[in-house]
Amino acid sequence: MKWRSMILVCATSSLAVAAVLVAQFRNGPPWRHPVVSSQSFHVGGAVIQVDFGPGALDLAHDQVMQWVRNSASSVATYYGRFPVTNDRVLIEPADGRDILRGTTWGGVDGLQGFTRIVLGKQTTQQDLDEDWEMTHEFTHTAFPSMDDDHSWIEEGLATYIEPIARVQRGFLRPEKIWADMMHDMPKGDPESSDRGLDNTHTWGRTYWGGAQFCLQADVMIRQQTQNRKGLQDALRAIVNAGGTIDKDWPLRKALEVGDSATGTHVLVQLYDAMRDAPKPVDLTVLWKQLGVIRDGDGVRFDDHALLAAVRQAITRTPATGVVLPKP
């Protein structure tokens, strides 16, 4: 969750999230919270410092470090490098199990990126192996900070890219993420009161409406470029132009940079179509075109479908290869 997005959800969703917001700063800003041990590693041109706050975990720190390294490697593989050159993760143990909360900030305390993870003390290795949130948080470093009306692009990108990055890195199978998309993408459908992505700040439209935008953009770019380029190329170009979490950019500037890299106008035109009016996505037709067919609790693929090659290209490990972490 991006910090600004957290404010947005707090204002429009629930008192429970408001309580989380207050708790974030109860003991001062999270980047000033106490630290009892630190480690660091290199990945894709970045140095990532991992700090552990007070409190014991059932897991060894080495297990937690491997989870962070795997997530960073997934994001670096998707972008060809890690989006920022200096990043810090603070792991704070808390009662409970699993990854309880993650929030990412940009441009704080001399850091391009900073992520606070509240990790349950009883978290297991299986919980870490199945986790999506650490990769989601790292993905937030790869896009400029937006104003509140555009939080959907920040959360939508992280929601869409996270599973794809883990497939490209080799941690998930394509069948798993397409089944999840088929299940979850409808959560982003506009309701009767919808006024477009810029003006409808519900949880579903912020996260999954944003993800629908990304999926459509990826498919449309690939259609218009005969599958030579995709959303991944646009997003890499934005990062290479300096569009990272520590920078404040207008959304249209970021989209224009991305479009220039693909030689299309997909991002700007799709934004203009979706920003202030509901624009439902016919997911049933899209799944058929991509060759994603529901099969029990999962999916099977039709590799003869119209856009089967597009589906395959979206999750293929990029030509730049897997980016591995180093000590």
Residue range 132-176, pLDDT digits in tens: 999 999 999 999 999 999 999 999 999 999 999 999 999 999 999
Report d(CA 303, CA 312) in Å as an integer: 9
What residues have CB less than 8 Å from 170, skipping those under 6 apart? 317, 322
* DSSP states along 296-316: TTEEEE-TTSTTHHHHHHHHS
Tell me the two tokens of residue 211.
């993800």
Q: What is the pLDDT along the chain (327 residues), one digit of tens a residue?
A: 765 433 333 333 344 444 455 556 677 899 999 999 999 999 999 999 999 999 999 999 999 999 999 999 999 999 999 999 999 999 999 999 999 999 999 999 999 999 999 999 999 999 999 999 999 999 999 999 999 999 999 999 999 999 999 999 999 999 999 999 999 999 999 999 999 999 999 999 999 999 999 999 999 999 999 999 999 999 999 999 999 999 999 999 999 999 999 999 999 999 999 999 999 999 999 999 999 999 999 999 999 999 999 999 999 999 999 999 999
Q: What is the pTM assigned to this prediction?
A: 0.93
Q: What are phi and psi of 46, to 5 degrees?
A: -115, 155
Interval 100-136: pLDDT, tens: 999 999 999 999 999 999 999 999 999 999 999 999 9
- In a 10 Å sphere around its CB, with 0-12 CB exposed, 13-18 middle and 19+ buried, how is residue 175 labelled? middle
Report d(CA 142, CA 76) in Å as an integer: 10
**Domain map (residue ranges) of the chain:** 3-142, 148-315
DSSP state of 245: T
* DSSP states along 87-114: EEEEEEEESSSSEEEEEEEEEETTEEEE
The answer for 110, left when phi > 0, alpha when psi is -120 to 50, beta otherwise, is left
